[in-house]
A and B are shown apart, each in its own frame.
Chain A
Amino acid sequence: MLILRDYIISAASQINAAGGSNGFNPTNLGVSDFSLVATTLDTNNAYKFMSGIEGMDRFGTGPIRSAYFMLSSTELQGDFDNLTGSGFLSQWNYPTNASALPAEYGSVFNIRILTSSEAPVARAAIANSAGTTNDLYYNTVLGKQAITHINQDGYSMNLIYRDPYYSGMLAQNATLAVKFAQAQAITQDTAIRNLLSTRFSTLGV
Chain B
Amino acid sequence: MAEYSRQAKGNFKAGGATAVINLPFQPTFVEFWNETNIAAAVAANKTCRGWWDANFLDAGGNNITMLEIYSNGSVTVFDVISNTASNPGVNSFFGGLSLQFGPSKQIVSSTAASPTVFTVTGHGYQVGDTVLLEGLFQSATTGQPQMAGIPFTISAITTNTFSVKWDSSGSNYTALSASPVGSTVKKILFPDLYFPGTLPISALTLAATTTVVTTKNHQLQVGQEVAFRIPTTWGPTQLNSLPNTVIPGSPIYGYVQSVTDQWTFVVNINSTGFTAFAPNQTVAATVGRSFAQVLAVGDVNSGGVQISSGSALYPSPLYSVGSLNSTSTINGPAIIGSYVNNTSQGFTIGSGTATNNTSAVIMATNDLIYWRASISDFGT
Interface residues in chain A, defined as those with a beta carbon under 8 Å from any beta carbon in chain B: 2-3, 6-7, 9-19, 23-27, 43-45, 120-133, 136, 167-168, 173, 175, 184-187, 189-190, 194
Contact = CB atoms under 8 A, between A and B. Distances in A.
A190 B250 CA distance: 11
A16 B291 contact: yes
B148 to A, nearest CB: 7
Nearest to B288: A18
B219 to A, nearest CB: 11
Interface string B160-186: 000000000000000000000111100
B341 A3 contact: yes
A57 B111 CA distance: 63
B298 interface: yes
B101 to A, nearest CB: 7
Contact of B286 (A11, A15, A25, A173): A25
Contacts of B98: 120
Contact of A6 (B96, B139, B198, B287): B96
A120 B182 contact: no
Overall SS of chain B's interface: loop
B376 interface: no
Interface string B267-305: 000000000000000000011111101011111000000
B291 A2 contact: no
A71 to B, nearest CB: 15
A15 B290 contact: yes
Interface in B248-265: 249, 251
B198 A14 contact: yes
A60 B187 CA distance: 48
Contact of B288 (A25, A44, A120, A185): A25
8 contacts: A3-B343, A7-B339, A18-B288, A25-B145, A25-B287, A45-B249, A129-B145, A189-B295
B68 interface: no
A129 to B, nearest CB: 4
Given A125-B149, A168-B2, A190 B99 contact: no
Describe A's contact surface by its main secondary structure: mixed
Contacts, number: 136
A16 B242 CA distance: 19
Contact of A43 (B182, B242, B343): B242
B182 A132 contact: yes
Interface of B: 2-4, 96-99, 101, 104, 132, 134-135, 137, 139-140, 145, 148-149, 181-184, 192-198, 227, 229, 241-243, 249, 251, 286-291, 293, 295-299, 339, 341, 343
Contacts of A45: 243, 249
Interface centre among A11, A122, A133, A194 (most CB of B within 10 A): A11
A17 B149 CA distance: 13
A16 B182 contact: no
Contacts of A122: 99, 101
B198 A13 contact: yes
A6 B193 contact: yes
B298 A23 contact: no
Nearest to A13: B229
A25 B295 contact: no
Query: Which 4 pairs between the two chains have the least Cβ-Cβ distance?
Result: A131-B182, A18-B288, A127-B135, A10-B194
A166 B23 CA distance: 26
A68 B151 CA distance: 29
B344 to A, nearest CB: 12
B288 A7 contact: no
Nearest to B104: A124
